[in-house]
Amino acid sequence: METFANLADGFAIALTWQNLLLALLGCFLGTVMGALPGLGPSNGVAILIPLAFTLGLGATPSLILLTSVYYGAMYGGRISSILLNIPGDEPAMMTCLDGHPMALKGMAGEALSLSGVASFVGAFLATWGLILLAPQLVKIALLFGPAEYFALFALAFMTLGGVSSTNQAKSAFAAALGLGLATVGVDTQTGVPRFTYGEVHLYDGLDFLVAIVGLFALSEVFIFLENRHGGAEADAGKVKIGRLYPPLSMLKACVPTMLRTSFLGFLAGVLPGAGASLGSFISYSMEKRLVDKEGTFGTGDPRGVAAPEAGNNAAAGGALVPMLALGVPGSGTTAVLLAVLLALNITPGPLLFTQNPDVVWGLIAALFIANFMLLAMNIPMVGLFTRVLMVPSRILMPIVAMVSFVGIYGISGSTFDLLVMIGFGVMGWVLRKLDVPLVPIILGTLLGNAMENNLRRAVTIDNGDWTTLIDSPLSIGLWSIALIGFILPLIIGRKVKAGMHARRDEEGALSD
């Protein structure tokens, strides 16, 4: 009952004109960003952070804007998958498999609206999952001391590698690089400068927003410069949308699929490091194994469209659970959202639910509202978004680059930060070429200070005894999960990932 009272309070916060307007704006921008190949949820949100920040929005309104973008991008990714066979972002990869064949059969409109409904079901159920699961997780997290938190951070980094890269060593490298970057600046506990080499600008540390925008948005511009191709505009006009509403029988046939895959996708999202791409991948594979008796999957089966879309939107909601309850994000985009919280001086984690219940429940209420807005936007108005796809990347990418510069300059007004951002952009490009995942780097720069502080607090409390790190059953449990999460993918992960990455398109965004 308490939950419902909280939720009602949340709706009271979210239902102001300003917040509704922000949610609407976020949903629209998010869908556009999701639909455009090359702009995924993580760089879409990254570009908008500085904007939310400089507009002086409070914590709740900024989060409402940015999570609406996040949910919107998850909806939007399917549009170009279905119409052009190019995933708008990585989680929408699996939607190509059946969505595009449906469009070729002249059922593009049905595919779009069916996947819109599936997205809605997935996101709606996942938001309920978030409401029910997050407070339980908070109860466990309240038992955590510094040693357990240190173990939890280690767990996040170790399991992240299992999914985000084909090479564990490379994700370990990425995590260490991010953590190392976080240590630049004045040490918070003793006040000595570290790795600053006398550069005054570095005393405050590297701004993680600069790192995020550089790594995600600018590196994308470099990828486009490298390939220089006109992008998606080529044959957008060829596919006819057709009728916009799916027949009731088709919807009915897909209901069990949507429910099953929403559940599965939600679970995939909650797991640290997995995120929406894995959600849509396992949803599709499981449905194929379960219901594809006539071998119609891959040839335009409506269930093959509903499964990955419900799965990826449910995973998007699921990934918010560990981010809000533990302060440890479950995916790339939630890592970016965590950056927003940190930039606004709000520490996510169990205390968030007791100290800032208005933020949490306002956000959850906004998710429900955004979800209905997105459903309304994505079915009758889908034609509008298909038109956006006509914008060629040679016009789009300069705008992306310039908006990134404006955002970062708007925060700090310093040329130095712009140069650092360019540096991160180049680094991001090289690392992407070498197949090094970028999400652990972001997570490292975000969580590095908290991780180090918890380590030092734990050891200091125990008078310099390092064994305190594995003293309690809870921390031993966390460390063993971390070890299993690191080793297991070495054994079985290769197969799963090979399947996932086989369909990875260089053009899709790098992560969810």
Question: Residue numbers of the site for other proteins (CB under 8 A)?
Answer: 51, 54-55, 166-167, 169-170, 172-173, 175-177, 179-180, 183, 187, 189-192, 194-195, 218, 221-222, 224-226, 228-230, 393-395, 397-399, 401-403, 405-406, 409-410, 413, 415, 418-419, 422, 425-426, 429, 433-435, 451-452, 455-456, 459-460, 463-464
Backbone angles phi, psi at 319, to 5 degrees: -65, -20
Per DSSP bridges, beta strands 185-186 and 193-194 are: antiparallel
193 in the Ramachandran plot: left (φ > 0), alpha (ψ -120 to 50) or beta? beta
Helices then strands, counting H and E runs in the chain, come out as: 23, 2
What contacts 450, CB < 8 A, 6 or more positions away?
149, 153, 327
Q: Which amino acid appears at position 371 of this protein? A: N
User: What is the nearest approach in angstroms of other proteins to the Cβ of residue 21?
Assistant: 13
User: What is the nearest approach in angstroms of other proteins to the Cβ of residue 189?
Assistant: 6
| Tokens 């038109």 belong to residue | 387
Judge whether 101 and 299 are in contact, CB under 8 Å.
Answer: yes
Q: Which is nearer to other proteins, 134 or 155 (CB)?
A: 155
Strand partners, 418: none
Judge whether 501 and 166 are in contact, CB under 8 Å.
Answer: yes
Judge whether 425 and 219 are in contact, CB under 8 Å.
Answer: yes
Query: What letter does residue 185 receive in the DSSP assignment?
Result: E
User: What is the nearest approach in angstroms of other proteins to the Cβ of residue 399?
Assistant: 5
Query: What letter does residue 319 receive in the DSSP assignment?
Result: T
Q: Which is nearer to other proteins, 167 or 299 (CB)?
A: 167
Q: Which is nearer to other proteins, 205 or 300 (CB)?
A: 205
Q: Which is nearer to other proteins, 233 or 292 (CB)?
A: 233
User: What is the nearest approach in angstroms of other proteins to the Cβ of residue 115?
Assistant: 30
| Tokens 């130095």 belong to residue | 416
Which run of H or of E encompasses 396?
helix 393-412
Q: Which is nearer to other proteins, 147 or 306 (CB)?
A: 147
Within 24-133, strands assigned E span: none
10 Å Cβ neighbour count for 183? Answer: 16
Q: Which is nearer to other proteins, 358 or 505 (CB)?
A: 505
Judge whether 508 and 272 are in contact, CB under 8 Å.
Answer: no
10 Å Cβ neighbour count for 199? Answer: 11
Q: Which is nearer to other proteins, 177 or 253 (CB)?
A: 177
Q: Which amino acid appears at position 208 of this protein? A: F
Rounded Cα gap, residues 252 and 328, in angstroms = 38
User: What is the nearest approach in angstroms of other proteins to the Cβ of residue 448?
Assistant: 8
User: What is the nearest approach in angstroms of other proteins to the Cβ of residue 463?
Assistant: 7
Rounded Cα gap, residues 9 and 67, in angstroms = 19
User: What is the nearest approach in angstroms of other proteins to the Cβ of residue 173?
Assistant: 4
Structure tokens at 170: 């490379």
Q: How many residues does the chain have?
A: 512
Strand partners, 186: 193
Q: Which is nearer to other proteins, 228 or 495 (CB)?
A: 228
User: What is the nearest approach in angstroms of other proteins to the Cβ of residue 218?
Assistant: 8
User: What is the nearest approach in angstroms of other proteins to the Cβ of residue 456?
Assistant: 4
User: What is the nearest approach in angstroms of other proteins to the Cβ of residue 157?
Assistant: 9
Q: Which is nearer to other proteins, 255 or 419 (CB)?
A: 419
Q: Which is nearer to other proteins, 254 or 401 (CB)?
A: 401
